[in-house]
């Protein structure tokens, strides 16, 4: 059997079983595509954390610790209310050891490991959410675009109280995943606790094939701005983003939407930054055995185009690296809500009899260009804007302006402007009729105050730029 040695670069391993095309790269080559301007540089071991390393146990102390462990196994095997053999007790002990290290480490027994290798290679049935443990609760990191969970109304930050009739208190993520995945067309009921809601909410969700479109590029109506949505970092993100943006021609600004993006391939996160940053370190990994810097060099396709990045509590891991790097280089304005704060790297290590089991182990932390960590902190936006619709005021409210008053003064330019606009209106109307229906329309914008705010920032940026140039 070929050994699988994966870096886990999205939110959490188990939640990936609900998402088509889980973001993993083989550690032998890190999955970097040929032609990408990315440099992988091994970090100097001397730059490890300066804190004093923990004293190693002597051989006698180590032997005593192992004897203590086996004594505990014997006590459980001989006295527990139900029959257990030594192998079962050892498996439970390993599982407990890994799960108590941190929220992302886990013991993958043979079935779980086989599921990983099968599910990461193709599409499958699920509901399409990324989950993790936050403050001890099973929490939705993000629902994926155009999936049953998203359509049902599941939101980032929702706490899953029950899956069908099973409480999630102390439930492991892998077990939660197993309960939520299933045959296409079957249903699962999630009981959700949501901030601001007085009582739990119930969602009946029909499972479906999970095929997530990772990248969407569009023009924003009535502007010369581009909207770039990245839902997850799969292997085609940078290529599709570059192609889509270039097809729009000359643009005066870009809104990069990373809201609800749970992560994905690290190399794609780095190469996406390379579209906007000419050179420099994007992210560093530091751990006991994993130490390296990922840099970009060789120029950028859009080095000077004004850029606003949208983030929220569902933006995690790779998307936090992108937003954080662009913020550190002062290349973009980050707008929205604080991100998830997943700044650690997991590696899947084959283990046990013939490598049929595995240990998913946290092996390093991410650090942004300025050296800051996002672990359990996340990215704080430059401009904080909560989600919601754009307030439009009372439709029944009467408003009077100068032009509504009798005998108001006429603007001497009005007639000239009116005459000039006739031809232009005709031309604009024709263009509107032939415009791409996929454009971000004004009706979409008024339903999304974060997007509206991002567009306003680009407009302000443009005005300041023009005045500065003069």
Catalytic residue among 342, 347, 360, 453: 342
C-alpha to C-alpha distance for 255 and 305, rounded to whole angstroms: 10
C-alpha to C-alpha distance for 460 and 448, rounded to whole angstroms: 19
DSSP one-letter string for 177-220:
HHHH--STT-EEEEEEE-TT-SS-EEEEEE-EE-----EEEEEB
Alpha helices in 389-469 (DSSP H): 414-433, 442-445, 449-469
pLDDT at 31 (0 to 100): 35
The predicted-structure confidence for 334-347, as pLDDT tens digits, reads as follows 999 999 999 998 88
Query: Which of 153, 229, 151 shows the shortest CA–CA distance to 440?
Result: 229
CA atoms within a 13 Å half-sphere pointing along the CA-CB vector of 434 = 5
Please give the helix or strand (H or E) that residue 348 lies within, else none.
strand 344-351
Residues whose CB is less than 8 angstroms from the CB of residue 278 and which lie 6 or more positions away in sequence, other chains included: 296, 297, 298, 299, 300, 303
Cβ atoms of 268 and 250 within 8 Å: the answer is no
Instruction: Enumerate domains of the chain plus CATH numbers.
Output: 125-210 (2.30.42.10), 215-350+361-384 (3.90.226.10)
Annotation marks residue 317 as catalytic: yes
Residue 293 clears pLDDT 70, i.e. is over it: yes
pLDDT band at 436 (very low <50, low <70, confident <90, very high): very low
Annotation marks residue 328 as catalytic: yes
Residue 166 clears pLDDT 90, i.e. is over it: yes
**For the ranges 60-74, 243-257, 337-351, which has the lowest average pLDDT?**
337-351
pLDDT at 181 (0 to 100): 87
Decide: pTM greater than 0.85: no
Residue 192 has which token pair?
Answer: 């959700």
Residue 43 clears pLDDT 90, i.e. is over it: no
The predicted-structure confidence for 8-34, as pLDDT tens digits, reads as follows 443 333 333 232 223 333 232 333 444
The C-alpha torsion from 139 through 142 and 147 to 152, rounded to 10°, is 60
C-alpha to C-alpha distance for 174 and 111, rounded to whole angstroms: 11
Residue 410 clears pLDDT 80, i.e. is over it: no
Residue 245 has which token pair?
Answer: 């943006």
Angle at 289 between CA 365 and CA 110, to 5 degrees: 85
Check residues 423 and 101 and name the one with the higher pLDDT. 101
Catalytic residue among 115, 234, 328, 448: 328
Catalytic residue among 10, 125, 284, 317: 317
Residues whose CB is less than 8 angstroms from the CB of residue 455 and which lie 6 or more positions away in sequence, other chains included: 220, 223, 225, 255, 445
Burial 51-66 (b: 16+ CB within 10 A, else e): eeeeeeeeeeeeeeee
pLDDT at 464 (0 to 100): 80
Residue 196 has which token pair?
Answer: 């601001």
Residues whose CB is less than 8 angstroms from the CB of residue 46 and which lie 6 or more positions away in sequence, other chains included: none
């Amino acid at each position: 059997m070929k050994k699988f040695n994966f870096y886990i670069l999205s939110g959490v391993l188990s939640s990936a079983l609900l998402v088509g095309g889980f973001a993993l790269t083989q550690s032998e080559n890190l999955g970097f595509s040929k032609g990408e301007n990315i440099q992988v540089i091994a970090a100097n071991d001397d730059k490890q954390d300066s804190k004093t390393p923990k004293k190693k146990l002597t051989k006698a102390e180590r032997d005593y610790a192992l004897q203590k462990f086996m004594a505990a196994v014997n006590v459980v095997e001989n006295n527990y209310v139900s029959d257990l053999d030594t192998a079962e007790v050892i498996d439970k002990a390993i599982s407990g050891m890994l799960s108590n290290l941190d929220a992302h480490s886990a013991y993958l027994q043979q079935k779980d490991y086989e599921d990983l290798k099968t599910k990461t290679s193709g599409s499958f049935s699920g509901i399409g959410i990324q989950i993790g443990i936050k403050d001890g609760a099973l929490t939705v990191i993000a629902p994926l675009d155009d999936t049953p969970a998203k359509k049902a109304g599941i939101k980032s930050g929702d706490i899953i109280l029950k899956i069908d009739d099973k409480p999630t208190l102390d439930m492991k993520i892998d077990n939660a995943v197993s309960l939520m995945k299933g045959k296409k067309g079957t249903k699962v009921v999630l009981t959700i606790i949501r901030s601001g809601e007085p009582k739990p909410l119930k969602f009946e969700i029909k499972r479906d094939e999970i095929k997530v479109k990772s990248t969407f590029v569009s023009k924003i109506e009535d502007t010369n701005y581009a909207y770039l949505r990245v839902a997850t970092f799969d292997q085609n993100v940078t290529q599709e983003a570059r192609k889509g943006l270039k097809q729009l021609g000359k643009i005066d600004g870009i809104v990069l939407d990373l809201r609800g993006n749970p992560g994905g391939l690290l190399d794609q996160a780095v190469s996406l930054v390379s579209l906007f940053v000419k050179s420099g370190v994007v992210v560093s990994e530091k751990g006991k055995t994993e130490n390296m810097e990922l840099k970009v060099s060789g120029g950028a396709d859009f080095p000077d185009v004004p850029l606003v990045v949208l983030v929220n509590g569902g933006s995690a891991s790779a998307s936090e690296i992108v937003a954080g790097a662009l913020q550190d280089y002062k290349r973009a304005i980050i707008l929205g809500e604080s991100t998830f704060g997943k700044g650690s790297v997991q590696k899947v290590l084959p283990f046990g009899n013939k490598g049929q089991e595995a240990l998913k182990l946290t092996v390093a932390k991410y650090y942004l260009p300025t050296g800051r960590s996002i672990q359990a902190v996340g990215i704080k936006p430059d401009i904080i804007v909560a989600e919601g619709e754009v307030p439009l005021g009372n439709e029944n409210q009467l408003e009077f302006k100068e032009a509504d008053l009798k005998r108001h003064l006429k603007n001497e330019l009005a007639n000239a402007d009116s005459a000039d606009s006739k031809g232009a209106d005709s031309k604009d109307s024709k263009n509107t009729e032939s415009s791409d229906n996929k454009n971000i329309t004004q009706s979409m914008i008024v339903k999304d105050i974060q997007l509206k705010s991002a567009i306003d920032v680009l407009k302000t940026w443009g005005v300041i730029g023009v005045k500065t140039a003069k």
